[in-house]
Amino acid sequence: MTALLELKNVGKAFGGLKALSDVSFSVAPDEIFAIIGPNGAGKTTLFNCIAGALAPTQGEILFQGRRIDGRPPHEICAQGLVRTFQIVKPFRGMTVLENVKVAAFARHPRPRDAEAAAHRVLAHLGMEAFAETDADELNVAQMRRLEIARALATEPKLLLLDEMLAGLTPAESAAMCDLIRALPRQGIAVIVVEHSIPVVRSLCERAVAITFGEVLAEGTTEEVIDDPRVQEAYLGRADAKVDA
């Protein structure tokens, strides 16, 4: 297996505080991979290191065999790795179409091409009806969808989704899962940071569990979730069972 993304002993320290240490794992080009862990485990820090918002203080991150650690986010995006934000960040002064168009400009410098690409993404996500709506007027589920639409419009090979399902109703969440599940078939690998164990079980083939900035377990989702150390990290008791 040639890895799409590979982390080698990645560490991040904020002054004396070690937020991440010795994190290593790799992601294949056609999978949905999960990063799980309790609150404050360092998931978002790890995310920020991969996407370029933070520079790791140690180790290497390779994307398609090229080092990306410490590169600025816009360069990493140009190489085909894009992220969404846990707290949605729409461009509030723009319409939905314009939001997606900004992202499409990453691959299509000409306005007409970018607009056509943005329309294609919106149609694909079933958001065409909202194209001319102000992004400000969307509800939470629609804003999440807009985050994904923008990310997809940059035509990535790897998509990082940060807590995409938090705060959604079961129906909205199921629709979102279907959308994510279809991505590898379009040649887009996905890394999700997710709290909900059932969602991770149903979405992802492989996972890594981290706590206190260190890797607890890596492997297939079942293995990782059933690992007693992961159980303990989540519930604090070795004999407890994490389940839906």
Partner 1 sequence: MSGFRTVAIVAALVVAAFLLALSDRYYMDVFILTCFYGALAVSWNMMAGLTGLMSLGHALFVGIGAYSVAWGASVQGWPPLVTWPMGVVIAVAAAAVMGMLCFRYGLRGYFFAIATLAFNEVAFFSVSASVALGRSDGLILPTSSEDSVMMLQFFDKWPYGLIIGTVLIATLAIGQYLLTSRTGYYWRALRDNEEAAEALGVNARAYKLRCFMLSAGISAVCGAFYANYVAFVDPRSVLGIDLSIQMLVYSIIGGMALLWGPLLGAVLLVPFSVLLRNISAMQGSEIIAYAVLLVVLALILPQGIAGWLTARWRRRKAAPRPEGFASVAAAEKSA
- Contact residues for partner 1, defined by CB under 8 A: 51, 53, 72-74, 77-78, 82-83, 85, 89-94, 98, 101-103, 105-106, 109, 111, 114, 129-130, 133, 137, 142, 150-151, 154
Q: Whose structure tokens read 């799980």?
A: 36
Q: Smallest gap, in angstroms, from Cβ of residue 110 to partner 1?
A: 8
Q: Smallest gap, in angstroms, from Cβ of residue 161 to partner 1?
A: 12
Q: Smallest gap, in angstroms, from Cβ of residue 154 to partner 1?
A: 6
The nearer residue to partner 1, 67 or 89, going by C-beta atoms, is 89
DSSP state at residue 236: S
The nearer residue to partner 1, 35 or 103, going by C-beta atoms, is 103
The nearer residue to partner 1, 166 or 242, going by C-beta atoms, is 166
The nearer residue to partner 1, 89 or 229, going by C-beta atoms, is 89
Other beta carbons less than 10 A from residue 89's beta carbon: 12
The nearer residue to partner 1, 116 or 235, going by C-beta atoms, is 116
DSSP codes of every residue in 29-83: TT-EEEEE--TTSSHHHHHHHHHTSS--SEEEEEETTEE-TT--HHHHHHHTEEE
Side chain identity at 27, as an amino acid letter? V
Helices (runs of H) and strands (runs of E) counted in the chain:
9, 10
Q: Smallest gap, in angstroms, from Cβ of residue 60 to partner 1?
A: 21
Side chain identity at 130, as an amino acid letter? F
The nearer residue to partner 1, 118 or 233, going by C-beta atoms, is 118
Q: Smallest gap, in angstroms, from Cβ of residue 40 to partner 1?
A: 21
DSSP codes of every residue in 179-219: HHHTTGGGT-EEEEE-S-HHHHHHH-SEEEEEETTEEEEEE
Q: Whose structure tokens read 């140009």?
A: 78
Q: Residue 221 is encoded by which pair of tokens?
A: 């989702």
Q: Smallest gap, in angstroms, from Cβ of residue 183 to partner 1?
A: 17
Tell which phi-psi region holds residue 14, choosing left (phi > 0), alpha (psi between -120 and 50) or beta.
beta
Tell how far CA 38 is from the center of its chain: 17
Q: Smallest gap, in angstroms, from Cβ of residue 119 to partner 1?
A: 15
